[in-house]
Structure formats: structure tokens, C-alpha cells
Amino acid sequence: MLRASPDNLFIPGKPDVILHDHWGRQFRYLRLSLTDACNMRCSYCLPDGYQPGGARPEPLLGRAEIRRLAWAFAHLGTRKIRLTGGEPSLRRDLPAILHDLRQQDSLQTLALTTNGLKLRQHLADWRAAGLDQLNISLDSLSPERFARITGHDRLPRLLDDIDFALADGWALKINTVLLREHSALERPAFLDWLRSRPLTLRFIELMRTHDNAAWYPQQHLRGEDWLNQLVRQGWQEIRRPADAGPARDFRHPDYAGRLGFILPYSPKFCESCNRLRVSARGALHLCLFTGQGHSLRDLLQDDDQQAALRRRLQQLIQLKAAGHALLADQSGGNRHFAAIGG
């Protein structure tokens, strides 16, 4: 049996079988959380800052465990891996993890979602390690509102770093959560900002979690209303790539950038689901809005467990429901988005 080292663990070739559920959906996209810690205090996620779990929380997945996990998913047809958190740049071994994942020849897209606080200082290392796509959270273009939402007053530097990354040739997506208190005031500024910047600005409808259940009804804003207004202003929908996430993308001839909408409360949102999530401590989550995940950690301790790990993934995927229960005001056991990577 192959004894894999860090340099030969990833073996190119066709997948053994494409991960699919009994609803006919195929899963080629993995969102892998590297940590549940974050250095922001966003009002919709961690308003009181990061609070560690129990007295002795299980350790985060190590570099070798992450390699083995990615290897199994790649053999089952995964072509896109997005590293998330919490805030993944808090991991000091992030460049090494990126390098390991990039060794998988069948992986087409290696992406990272970040709040951008460490963007400028790490961009060169991330590129050298093989990262090819960045998502950056940016919920306001107003310094005052940005500070109120995130707990930080670093907006001017973040905007400068975004422009620096664009000039450096990065493919950027900007994630903006729709909040009733702020977003209507922000839309003209965001559209003006998008006019000259070749990036994708994605409006994400606020989703209910366990921790924000009381706050959510005060701030929820229907994203579909915004989408319809912008379509009337000439924005045209773009066909989704096969490995795309849940966003619907739009373009306009007068804008250098594109708009995206992630609308989890739309009736058919789950029909095109193509993504799975693994938490920073090795639990597979079949949906963002499920309860406890399914631990994979026991099968990540040795290279020789690959066959058993792939069998478990194929078995667990059959438990995936047809859709989430958000429309019934049920958000599962998800405390907050940092817990399993949003």
C-alpha cells in the first residue's frame, strides 16, 4: 500500500466516484474551516468577540489531517476548496496548508475567505503558496458604520489593500451582509465603488443562527427585493459555472465589476447545492443549518485510512436533506457562522 509523504500524498487522476446524494445533487466544492477564532466582532456573527468552547476544546485539524481530508475529497470529485474560519489568516501555517493543497493536480480552484485585516502583509505568501481566489468581507464603505458592524476602525486601510490586490491581478469577491439598519444607506456608495473596480460584489441575505435569533428579525432585509430593483436598472444574470457557490451573478455594461446575490430564503435555493463543509475540528456538516456534524477525525490519523474515509463520506452524504428549514424559522444547532465557516 502507498505510504504517502507530504510531497506525494496527492495523486492526480480521475475521481473514484463523484460524491452525490439521493436527490441527484453532485458535490464538487468543499468549504474547509481552519479555525473558529476571529479577530473581528461582527454584529451578525460574534458581537461579543470570539469565545472559546469548553475548558478543553478538541484541537484544530493539523496540517497532515488537512492533507488527508483534501486527498479523500479530491478522489471523490472535489474540484474547489475554499478555506474559511473564523478568520483563516490567524493560522500561522496557512501558507504551508495552501502549498499542500496546491499539490493536488485535480484541484481547479483554491480559494480563501478572509476579513482582510492581514491582507497586505500576507498576499505575496498566499500567491506563492498557490492561492488563486480571494473573498473579502466588507459590510460598509462608511468608516463609522464599518466600525459599528465589525468592532474595528480599519476601513481606510482595508479599502487600500483591496485596491492593491486588484492592481496585483487578484480575482476578488467582496462579501456584504444585508442589514436593515445600514444597507439601504450603503447601496448607492457600493454601486459607485463597483463602477470602476473589476471585482464581484456579493450581497448576502442575513441568515438566522442560534446566537442571533432575537437580533435577526430586527435586521433581516429581503435580498430578492434588491435583486429585482437592480434587474429593472439593467443588470443581467450570468450563467453559473459548474463549481460555483450559491450566488447568482449579474453584470451591467456601465460597470467594471459584477454583482452577486446569495438568497438562502428563496424557495429553490437548495436545489443547486454543490458544497459540503468540514469544521476546523474535523466534523462534516451536510448543511450550514444542521445540528452536530459527523466527526471524520478518527479516519484522518493515518494515510492508510483513505479508503475507509471515502466510504464514510459516501455513506454520510446520503443523510443530506433536500433543503434547510430556514423558511420555518429553524436554523439547526449552528451557534454562529464562525463555528463551521459560513
What does the block give as the cell for 39? Answer: 479577530
**Cβ atoms of residues 52 and 111 within 8 Å:** no
What does the block give as the cell for 225? Answer: 427585493
CATH number of 29-339: 3.20.20.70
**Cβ atoms of residues 173 and 199 within 8 Å:** yes
Query: Residue 55 CB: number of other CB atoms within 10 A?
Result: 5
Q: Is 109 exposed, middle or buried (0-12, 13-18, 19+ CB in 10 A)?
A: middle
Question: Nearest to residue 338, comparing CAs of 27, 29, 34?
Answer: 34
Mean pLDDT for each 10-residue chunk of the chain (342 residues)?
Answer: 38 68 91 93 79 73 98 96 95 98 93 96 97 96 94 95 97 93 89 97 84 72 88 93 79 97 81 89 87 91 97 95 65 58 61
* The pLDDT value given to residue 5: 39
d(CA 217, CA 92): 37
What does the block give as the cell for 119? Answer: 491582507
Range list of β-strands (E), the chain: 29-33, 80-84, 109-114, 133-137, 172-178, 200-205, 236-237, 248-251, 258-262, 275-278, 283-285, 294-295
| Residues near 50 by beta carbon (within 8 Å), at least 6 away in sequence | 36, 37, 38, 39, 86, 338
* The pLDDT value given to residue 321: 84
Rounded to 10 degrees, what is the CA torsion of 30, 259, 223, 221?
Answer: 100
* The pLDDT value given to residue 34: 97
One DSSP character per residue, 63-100 reads HHHHHHHHHHHHHTT--EEEEESS-GGG-TTHHHHHHH
